[in-house]
A and B are shown apart, each in its own frame.
Chain A
Amino acid sequence: MRRHLLLLAPQRLHTWSANWRALAEGPVFEADEAGLAAFARWLDDQGEQACYTLATDLADEQWAVERLPPLRGHDRRALIARRLAARFGTAAQAGSLPLGRRREGESVLLYAPADTRPLDRWLAPLTDRQARITGVHAIAFALDRARRHRPPAADARSLLVSTTAAGLRHSLVVDGRLRHSRLLAAGETDGDDALRRTRAQLYAQGLIEHDDALPLTILDRAPAATADPVLRAALDGRLPHCGDEALRLPWRIARLRSHLTAAAFVVATVGSLATIGLQASIQAAAQESTRYLAASAELDARRQADLATQPPLPADIDTMTRMLEALAAQRAQHADPVPLLQALGQALDAHPAVELQWLAWKRQAASASTPSPVEALDLGVALDAVAREDGGSAFLAHLGGHPTVGAIVATAPDRNRSGPQPPPASLRVSLQGTGATEGRR
C-alpha cells in the first residue's frame, strides 16, 4: 500500500509520496475551492489502499506544560483529554507530547491549534472516503523528535529556527525538549522583528525572563525531502496523534487485517513445512519398521532352523533347567546320616557294654532353594556296669576317632547338678558330621 505525507500549511496543502525510504514530492493544493476539488480528485486517484499521514504546520498554535500524577493507560488518556479541554476549550485536533516521567508524575506538553477550521476543511474529503489516516501530527512535535537525535545544546534554553514548506518557525527548546513553537505569519519578513515578537510571546507566557539570553539554533531545511529529518519524523508514525481516534479507525482496521493476513500466511507456511517434515519422518519410520519386521522374521526363521537340529524338550530350556535343578537339589538332599550311622554301628559293636536306646535325625522340609542336608545325629545310650566305670569315655573316644565324625557333645541326663555323683547310667550324645562325607551318595 502507498503512503502519503500531507503537510497542511496555512495557505496550501503539500503532498509527498513515500516509496520505501524515499519521499517524492507530489502536487500542492491551494486552500480554496478549486484546490479542495483538485485534492478530492487526487485522493480518488490514489485508490482505497493508500495511507495518509497528516502534519499540521499552522500559525496560532496554543501550548501549555502540565504536570500529571503517575497514571497509565486509559486513566492517563482521560486526564490529558480533560486537561486539554480545560486549557484550550476543546480536545479536538489537540495533542500532547510527553516531556519526561519521574516518580512523582510526568510532564506533558499540551498542544492545540487556535483555529481548527483549516484542518477540518482538508480532513473532510479524507473522512468522506474513509481514507486510511495513520495520524494527525503537529509539525512542532516532529521538530522535537528530529532534535532528540542531535547532541544536546550546552545552553538550557535556546530558540530553534527551522524552515518548512509552510515557512519559518521559532521553537523554544528547554533542556533539549520542545516547550513552545510558532509559525511566523506570512508578513513577518524582518528577522529581528520576528525574534522580538517571539520573545515577547514567550515572556508573556512566563517561559523566559525579560533579560534571558536565548541563543539561536538554526535547523536548515534539507535540500531533498527524503533527507528532511522533520518530514521523516512526521512520517515515521511515532509522533503523538492530535485529534479524534476515530480518524484512524479505517487505518487501524486495515492494519489489523493486514497483520492477521500475514500471521495466517506465516502460520500456514510454517504448518505446511512442519507437515512436510513430519510426513518425511513418518515415511522414514515406516520404512525402518518394515526393515525391522523383515529382519525379525528372518531371525525367527534362522532360530526355527537351529531349533530343528537340536533335540526337543517338553518346555523351554529355562523352565526345564529350573525344574531339573529343583529335582537335583532334592535328590542331593538325600542325606540320611549313613556315615554317622555306620560310625555309630561300629562303635556299638566294639563296646557291647553300651546299648543304643534311641536315635533321631531330621533335615528340614524339602525346598528347592534351601537344600539342607543332615549334619547332626542325636542318640541316647545306656551304660552297663562295665561301661559306667569310665563313664562311657572309651565308647565316645571310639566314636570320635571315626573320620566322618566331626564333633561329639555328650551329657549325662541322670546326673544332678551338685554333690557326689555315682557313675552315669546313660548318655545323651550329639554327633556332628564333617560335612564332606555325610552325603554318601
Chain B
Amino acid sequence: MTGLALLRRLHPAGRLLVAALLAATASLTALAWSLYQHARADAAHARSRAEHDSAERRLAAVAAEATRRPLLAASYQRLSATGHVTADTPALRQHWGALIRGAGRDAGAVRLDFSIGPSRPLGPVSAGAPVAHAHPVSLQFGIRHLPALLAFLDSLADRHDRQVVGRGCRVERREPAVAAGAGAFPALWAQCELDWLRIEPGTGEAT
C-alpha cells in the first residue's frame, strides 16, 4: 500500500495531523539546513572581513614603508657593494685569509696564525630572506709594540668597511730569550678573537 493510499484511508482529522506533522518536519529540516548555511555564511563573512582588514593593513604598511624602503634598499645596496653580501664559499675564506695576512704584514706581525670558524646567524632565519652571519676568527701573532697592534686591528676593521668586529685580545710580553728563540724581535704576543660579518644572500624574489 502506497503512502498516498494510506493517507486516503485516514480520518480527515488524521490527515490534517499528518499534513501538519509533515509541514513541521519539512519546516524544521529547512530551518536546520538554513542554520548550517548561516553558520557557513558567517564563517565566510568573517574570513572575507579578515582578508579585507589584512589588505587594509598591508596597504597601510606599504604607505608607511614609503620612506623606510628606499633607505633600506640603499643601505642593502651599499652593503652589497662593499662585499658584505656573499655566500660562504672556500674562495671567500681564501680571500679573507689573504686580507688578514696582508694586514698583518703591513703592521709588522710575525708568526701570524689564524682560523675562521663556522658562521652563526645573527637573528631569526626567514626562508628565502637574507640573513646576517658572524664568523668567529682567532688570531695569534707576535708584534713589535702596542701601536703596531692597534694598527693591525684598525687595518682589519677600517679596510673592510667594518666587516670585522673585535671581540677581545690578550697581549703578553715575553722574555727576549723566548722571542729570540723564535728568531724574531717582537716582545708582545697577542691572541685576539674577531667576528667577520657577512650577509647570506636571500633566494626569494625581491618584494
B31 & A275 in contact (Cβ 8 Å cutoff): yes
Set of chain A residues within 8 Å of B62, measured between Cβ atoms: 303, 306-307, 310
- The yes or no answer to B153 lying at the interface (CB within 8 A) is yes
Flag the segment in B91-99, B110-118, B161-169 that touches A. Answer: B161-169
Set of chain B residues within 8 Å of A313, measured between Cβ atoms: 69, 72-73, 76, 206-207
B145 CB to nearest chain A CB (Å):
8
Set of chain A residues within 8 Å of B147, measured between Cβ atoms: 345
Instruction: Specify which of A257, A269, A285 is in contact with B45 (CB 8 Å cutoff).
Output: A285
Instruction: Specify which of A274, A281, A292 is in contact with B51 (CB 8 Å cutoff).
Output: A292
Bound complex: CA A353 to CA B123 (Å)? 49
B202 & A275 in contact (Cβ 8 Å cutoff): no
- The yes or no answer to B201 lying at the interface (CB within 8 A) is yes
B7 CB to nearest chain A CB (Å):
15
Set of chain A residues within 8 Å of B49, measured between Cβ atoms: 289, 292
- The yes or no answer to B87 lying at the interface (CB within 8 A) is no
A268 & B17 in contact (Cβ 8 Å cutoff): no
A336 & B166 in contact (Cβ 8 Å cutoff): yes
Set of chain B residues within 8 Å of A258, measured between Cβ atoms: 13
Given contacts A257-B14, A317-B65, contact A359 B171 (CB under 8 A): yes
A299 & B59 in contact (Cβ 8 Å cutoff): yes
Q: In chain A, residues 362-383, which have Cβ atoms closer than 8 Å to a Cβ of chain B?
A: 362-363, 365-366, 368, 374
Residue interface mask A164-177, B partner, CB < 8 A = 1: 00000000000000
A269 CB to nearest chain B CB (Å):
8
- The yes or no answer to B16 lying at the interface (CB within 8 A) is yes
Q: In chain B, residues 120-170, which have Cβ atoms closer than 8 Å to a Cβ of chain A?
A: 122-124, 126, 128-132, 134, 146-147, 149-150, 153-154, 157-158, 162, 164-170
B156 CB to nearest chain A CB (Å):
10
Where the two chains meet, the residues of B that have a C-beta atom closer than 8 Å to any C-beta of A are: 13-14, 16-17, 20-21, 23-24, 26-28, 30-31, 34-35, 37-38, 41-42, 44-45, 47-49, 51-52, 54-56, 58-59, 61-63, 65-66, 68-70, 72-76, 79, 84, 122-124, 126, 128-132, 134, 146-147, 149-150, 153-154, 157-158, 162, 164-173, 188, 193, 195, 197, 199, 201-202, 204, 206-207
